[in-house]
Amino acid sequence: MTRLFQTLCIATLVAAATACGSVVQEEPDGRADVSEFTETGDVPRDVPVDLRAEDGPITDGEPPPDTPDAPDTADAPDVEPECLQASDCDDGEPCNGDEMCDSGTCVPGTFLRDGTPCATASVSGTCQAGWCVPTLCPNGVVNPEAGEECDDGGSVAGDGCEPNCRYTCHGNLECADDNPCTGDRCAENEAGQICVHPSVADGTECEDGNPCTVEDECSGGTCTAGDSRSCDDDDDCTTDTCDPTRSAGTLSFPCFHDRLPNWYYDEDRDTFGDPAQSLCARTAPTHYVANDDDCCDQLSAVNPDHSAYEATPYRCGDFTFDSYDWNCNGAPEPEREGLVVGTCRYEPSSGTCRGITTPGWCAVGVTPPDGTYTCGDTPGCGEIGGWVSECTTAPPAGLDGGTDAETFLDVATDTADGGTDTSTTTCRPVVVATVQRCR
């Protein structure tokens, strides 16, 4: 039974009780208090059972009609989903985030941060509270609350009012243009405040930035170059130039003094020059060469290319001494150096006399055949010495090897004067008188 029928039932009972003279009290809210009908506040006991609220509406004794069955939800029509994909939820507003589709229902996106640049089909501006709103600057209206100093409605920089609605300058220091021939001042104009650069007086000294000019002057607001800088160092052997592009680490910067090459006179035409005769020039003068390696420019045979050893010295020009330095290396080079290495000995098994391992000048103890030199030292350039390179079994010249009482005897077993042992074999070094040559 529905609550409407219960209410009607109670109202009927209240009306009946009033007609019978029963006391009905009203509550402050205007509702009737029927609690006196019974101790519990229920419907009076003498009311027929078929009139009680829980039994349904009062009838003429007929049973209440059956309650209709609830509709079968299985037969209800399907509800179409709100979306199938995220694009179905896009509302065209970029500032409220990307909408998503979750199980057929559109889910709102996350708002973009205020001030984020945005654009729609009709608006270009920034995000504010999830909406793309037009940019307030520049729009031709100054909005001090937004920090604007000016607003000329334009987007040209440097015209006095910048695209961010701030003055182009706020003081003279901001207007410095590094031009020594203009003043730098921040001045008011129709748009706001702009840098102006009035020219200084013509003839004012300035620096044009080129170190190779001097006495630069201002003219019409521009620093014009003066005279060229002189870099002459009074040295005929240097090329003097002013070059601001070269390294500034040199003491003479921007002047540079590049030395001209030296050339040396080649008197004997052997392609080697005399160090005592030189001059500087960009290119070689006639009969001058680039080297100074000649030690005697009067003799073409004397030069660094001389390879032969000479037994005689040379005298160069007006020199008062002779020299064996034919190849100009600074000191004579002997052709042969060192004493002989090894001792001559007879080998009966082969019938030969050998023992010299390294040829050299005769050693101490060997008597030269002619007595014109001594053994035991390397002779100087042009001197004679005894050169030993082999051994021999032949007796010395004028001696027979020991058959007579000769004054010089060199035999293996008979070493005394007057020896008569003819069975011995002579084995001695061959000493050859030789002139030491040098170069």
Do 383 and 435 share a domain, yes or no?
yes
CA distance 3 to 11: 13
Do 359 and 380 share a domain, yes or no?
yes
Phi, psi for residue 398 in degrees, rounded to 5: 85, -5
Element (H, E) at 118: strand 117-119
In a domain, 295, yes or no: yes
CA distance 272 to 292: 6
In a domain, 195, yes or no: no
**Of the candidates 134, 151, 170, which is a domain's last residue?**
134
CA distance 298 to 296: 5
Give the model's pLDDT for residue 224. 97
CA distance 408 to 320: 45
In a domain, 61, yes or no: no
Tokens 């005689």 correspond to: 312
In a domain, 74, yes or no: no
In a domain, 62, yes or no: no
- 405 residue type, one letter: A
Do 267 and 315 share a domain, yes or no?
yes
Give the model's pLDDT for residue 36. 41
Lowest mean pLDDT among 193-197, 332-336, 374-378, 390-394: 390-394
Do 355 and 423 share a domain, yes or no?
yes
CA trace torsion 69, 70, 73, 77 (10° rounding): 90
Domain that holds residue 43: 3-55
Both tokens of 136, joined, read: 């307030």
Residue 400: pLDDT above 50?
Answer: no
Residue 118 or 230, more confident: 230
CA-CA distances (angstroms) from residue 303 to 267, 297, 324? 12, 8, 12
Q: What is the pTM of this model?
A: 0.48
Do 432 and 344 share a domain, yes or no?
yes
CA distance 100 to 86: 5
Do 300 and 344 share a domain, yes or no?
no
Do 313 and 345 share a domain, yes or no?
no
CA distance 213 to 139: 51
**Of the candidates 286, 315, 332, which is a domain's last residue?**
332
Do 315 and 271 share a domain, yes or no?
yes
Strands 360-361 and 384-392: antiparallel
Do 344 and 302 share a domain, yes or no?
no
Give the model's pLDDT for residue 396. 59
Number of H helices, E strands in the chain: 1, 23
In a domain, 328, yes or no: yes
Q: What's the total number of domains in the chain?
A: 4
Residue 60: pLDDT above 60?
Answer: no
* Average pLDDT of every residue of the chain: 80
Do 284 and 338 share a domain, yes or no?
no
Do 439 and 343 share a domain, yes or no?
yes
Residue 12: pLDDT above 80?
Answer: no
Lowest mean pLDDT among 51-65, 176-190, 269-283, 419-433: 51-65
Residue 56: pLDDT above 70?
Answer: no
Residue 223: pLDDT above 70?
Answer: yes
Do 15 and 108 share a domain, yes or no?
no
CA distance 162 to 374: 109
In a domain, 18, yes or no: yes
In a domain, 25, yes or no: yes
Residue 411: pLDDT above 50?
Answer: no
- 138 residue type, one letter: P
